[in-house]
Amino acid sequence: MPIYRAPVEDYKFLLHELFEVEKQTDLPRYADLSSDLIDDILTNAGKFCEDVLQPINQSGDEEGCHFENGIVRTPKGFKEAYKAYCEGGWGGLGAPADVGGSNLPNVITMAVAEMAMSANQAFAMYPGLTSAAYSALYATGAPWMKDHIVPKMVSGEWTGTMCLTEPHCGTDLRLMKTRAVEQPDGTYRMTGTKIFISGGDHDLADNIIHMVIAKIPDENGQIRNDLSTVNFFMVPKFLVSEDGKMGARNGVSTGGIEHKMGIKGNATAVLNFDDAIAWRLGPQPIPPKPGEKRSASAGMAGMFRMMNAARLGVGVQGIAIGEVAYQNGLDYALTRRVGHALTGPKEPDQPADLEIVHPDVRRMLLHCRSFVEGARAMAVWTTLNMSLGNSNRPEKDTAALLGDLMTPVIKGFFTDMGFEAANYAMQCYGGHGYIRDNGVEQFVRDGRINQIYEGANGVQALDLVGRKLGRKGGAAPFALFSEIGKWLKEQDADALAPFTKPMQRGLDTLQQATMWLAQHGLQNPNDAGAAASDYLRLMGIVIVGWMWARMAKLAHAKLAAVVANKPLYEGKLVSARYWMERLMPECPMLLERIQSGSATLMAFEPTA
């Protein structure tokens, strides 16, 4: 049976010591964030995840969801766990107080979400998508929806989904066919099929509020192949009247659930909309003037808000799967006896040494650990920037740009690395990792989807190089480089040289790559496309490296003073050195790949 221990101490280190979040009282939602409150939430969330969610992770994977006679049932234990989750108020942690939430900032909800995803990703996706859906509905819905629907989603009585994908399109949403036709009473009638909808149907809650994108036919009743008529709608499974009463079943039915590689406890549904009653959300689209290019409709803003939140959430899933996989790989390496240390037996009275003596096993485990803890720091830094972006501080615009720049990096880099970590953890088990009973192969299967959904990682990379880098004349990368450069200049201690020197080289390389993209990407878009994934990884490695340099500085200072908790700081220094010695050297290699351009890739004829 796999193990899981919530990383409460690591979060305390990041929140209290590295980022000192309780001092940021002027940021929105931070005013009441005392140290004690943070510790209480982390401890209780950790305990809930360890005691309630983790024990049904492996059984949920073995059993999967069931679809019989049009009804979807979740695996044994999920209903009881969901009830306990709602009673604990975990689903409303980040929701505003006026809809029954605890109004806590993202930095806290992110920590709790990571723990839940580590303990049981399939389960945690039900409330995870619900909170993305209620945030969007809160921002774009009519007052009666905020009064009667959002509070039920916040409490968990009802859940939510995000419906974008159709059989013929997931990435290229211009091609979507689902249509919504306006009715005299101002509602819409929706027809079409959405597939792969996470939590699309289940037996956990009484109602499901689907957040759906669909096209409004033009004046000729035609559906266009662009985003200009795409709008954002709310479609409940059971109808809800404006005074909040739940009524008859709406025209949404479940066509089936997918049999899939992982996250088997999460129902991935085909949803058929047959003249379903839908409510349009957000501002009305502005029709383009004659000759004007059609752009995405204003109603899409709500969807983008939901997708950005979900992207960060999926990035955190990468950390979560890396953390739990690492813990299990380490646990195994500390108990399995195999071979002898290369320098001679460590325990001569035993038939073999513990697996952990082998440098290659340590390489795999440190790869996981330095990723997980470094990425966690970067995620906290990013959510802090996002909160800063919503504050009144002078640096708010730069902070918002940085948060925006980091979104595709967190989604793409963290989920790639999370999968690598799960794979390494499985490798630590040898053949036993390939056997289902031991549970570690589940992490590989569960973690694999994170690289695909919420926009495939290649598409995140395109978003980074094609949109985010150039926004506002390149203000975001400029701000990032100058912030890291300034920090590096301020460090002069010799003791920090093992961290600051590779960081300076990494920063120079990232700047060179950015310059190369600016020069070549505009001339030849294929060069930008060919470079995108390597560039995203380069940026991820450098920023996590910066986090490690900052953590190393703090750990040095703590160890120089007489403090308790020395193993924590010593561990930080080892992981920081690992990142500098083993990940930062990838930077020049990535630059070389980026600069090789697209000619070879494009020279390959499909017929060959």
Ligand X SMILES: Cc1cc2nc3c(=O)[nH]c(=O)nc-3n(C[C@H](O)[C@H](O)[C@H](O)COP(=O)(O)OP(=O)(O)OC[C@H]3O[C@@H](n4cnc5c(N)ncnc54)[C@H](O)[C@@H]3O)c2cc1C
Q: Give least dist CB 472 to ligand X, A.
A: 23
Out of 196, 232, 332, 371, the residue judged to bind ligand X by CB under 6 A: 196
Using the rule CB under 6 A, is 270 a contact of ligand X? no
Q: Give least dist CB 452 to ligand X, A.
A: 6
Among residues 242, 155, 164, which one has the least CA distance to residue 200?
A: 164
Out of 108, 163, 321, 555, the residue judged to bind ligand X by CB under 6 A: 163
- Distance between CA atoms of 221 and 192, rounded to whole angstroms? 15
Using the rule CB under 6 A, is 548 a contact of ligand X? no
Using the rule CB under 6 A, is 455 a contact of ligand X? yes
Using the rule CB under 6 A, is 462 a contact of ligand X? yes
Compute how many residues bind ligand X; rule: CB under 6 A.
22
| Radius of gyration for the chain, computed over Cα atoms and rounded to the nearest angstrom | 25
Q: What is the DSSP string of 118-147?
A: HHHHHHHHHHHHHHHHHHHHHHHS-HHHHH
Comparison of 163 and 190: residue with beta carbon closer to ligand X: 163
Using the rule CB under 6 A, is 453 a contact of ligand X? yes
Q: What are phi and psi of 507, to 5 degrees?
A: -65, -45
Comparison of 21 and 263: residue with beta carbon closer to ligand X: 263
Q: Which DSSP category does 202 fall into?
A: -
258 SS3 class: coil
Q: Give least dist CB 300 to ligand X, A.
A: 14
Using the rule CB under 6 A, is 198 a contact of ligand X? yes
Select from 40-48, 165-173, 376-384, 551-559 the region that touches ligand X (CB under 6 A): 165-173
The dihedral built from the CA positions of residue 431, 434, 436 and 439, taken in this order, carries a sign that is positive
Comparison of 197 and 384: residue with beta carbon closer to ligand X: 197
Among residues 265, 190, 181, which one has the least CA distance to residue 445?
A: 265
Tokens representing 36 are: 């004690």
Specify whether the CB–CB gap between 56 and 75 falls below 8 A: yes
Q: Give least dist CB 530 to ligand X, A.
A: 10
Specify whether the CB–CB gap between 192 and 198 falls below 8 A: no
Comparison of 438 and 457: residue with beta carbon closer to ligand X: 457
Out of 227, 239, 298, 456, the residue judged to bind ligand X by CB under 6 A: 456
212 SS3 class: strand
Q: Give least dist CB 601 to ligand X, A.
A: 12
Binding to ligand X, residues 314-373 (CB under 6 A): none
Comparison of 462 and 503: residue with beta carbon closer to ligand X: 462
Catalytic residue among 114, 166, 323, 454: 454
Neighbour count for residue 452 (Cβ, 10 Å):
15
Q: 423-452 mask for ligand X (x: CB under 6 A)?
A: --------------------------x--x
Comparison of 92 and 529: residue with beta carbon closer to ligand X: 529
Using the rule CB under 6 A, is 197 a contact of ligand X? yes
Give the bridge partners for 158, in sequence order.
207
Among all residues, whose Cβ is closest to ligand X?
Answer: 170
Comparison of 45 and 124: residue with beta carbon closer to ligand X: 124
454 part of the active site: yes
Select from 35-43, 97-105, 193-201, 373-381 the region that touches ligand X (CB under 6 A): 193-201
Neighbour count for residue 493 (Cβ, 10 Å):
11
Comparison of 54 and 121: residue with beta carbon closer to ligand X: 121
Q: Give least dist CB 36 to ligand X, A.
A: 37
Select from 71-79, 178-186, 454-462, 510-518 the region that touches ligand X (CB under 6 A): 454-462
Instruction: Return the HEC string of 156-201.
Output: CCEEEEEECCECCECCCHHHCCCEEEECCCCCEEEEEEEEEEECCC
Q: Give least dist CB 607 to ligand X, A.
A: 20
Select from 20-28, 361-369, 457-465, 555-563 the region that touches ligand X (CB under 6 A): 457-465
Using the rule CB under 6 A, is 559 a contact of ligand X? no
Using the rule CB under 6 A, is 170 a contact of ligand X? yes
Select from 37-45, 148-156, 157-165, 318-326 the region that touches ligand X (CB under 6 A): 157-165
Out of 230, 276, 459, 544, the residue judged to bind ligand X by CB under 6 A: 459
Among residues 205, 214, 314, 198, which one has the least CA distance to residue 257?
A: 198
Among residues 22, 23, 49, 54, which one has the least CA distance to residue 38?
A: 22
246 SS3 class: strand
Out of 43, 171, 222, 295, the residue judged to bind ligand X by CB under 6 A: 171
Out of 24, 165, 423, 575, the residue judged to bind ligand X by CB under 6 A: 165
Q: What is the DSSP string of 90-106?
A: GGGTTS-GGGT-----H
Tokens representing 547 are: 């986090």
Comparison of 18 and 306: residue with beta carbon closer to ligand X: 306
- 355 contacts: CB under 8 Å, gap ≥ 6: 332, 333, 334, 336, 337, 338, 361, 428
Tokens representing 491 are: 């460090």
Among residues 299, 310, 139, 291, which one has the least CA distance to residue 215?
A: 299
Using the rule CB under 6 A, is 458 a contact of ligand X? yes
Select from 40-48, 456-464, 539-547, 553-561 the region that touches ligand X (CB under 6 A): 456-464
Give the bridge partners for 182, in sequence order.
188
Using the rule CB under 6 A, is 268 a contact of ligand X? yes
Comparison of 78 and 579: residue with beta carbon closer to ligand X: 78
Q: Quick one: 103 exposed, middle or buried, by C-beta within 10 A (0-12, 13-18, 19+)?
A: middle
- Distance between CA atoms of 317 and 314, rounded to whole angstroms? 5
Q: 497-536 mask for ligand X (x: CB under 6 A)?
A: ----------------------------------------
- Distance between CA atoms of 23 and 19, rounded to whole angstroms? 9
3-state helix, strand, coil in the chain (%, to 5): 60, 10, 30
Q: Give least dist CB 164 to ligand X, A.
A: 3
Using the rule CB under 6 A, is 174 a contact of ligand X? no
Q: Give least dist CB 204 to ligand X, A.
A: 15
Question: How far is residue 16 from each of residues 10, 58, 416, measured CA to CA in Å?
Answer: 10, 34, 28
Comparison of 303 and 384: residue with beta carbon closer to ligand X: 303
Q: Which positions are catalytic? A: 454
Residues found near ligand X in the complex (CB under 6 A): 162-165, 169-172, 196-198, 260, 268, 449, 452-456, 458-459, 462
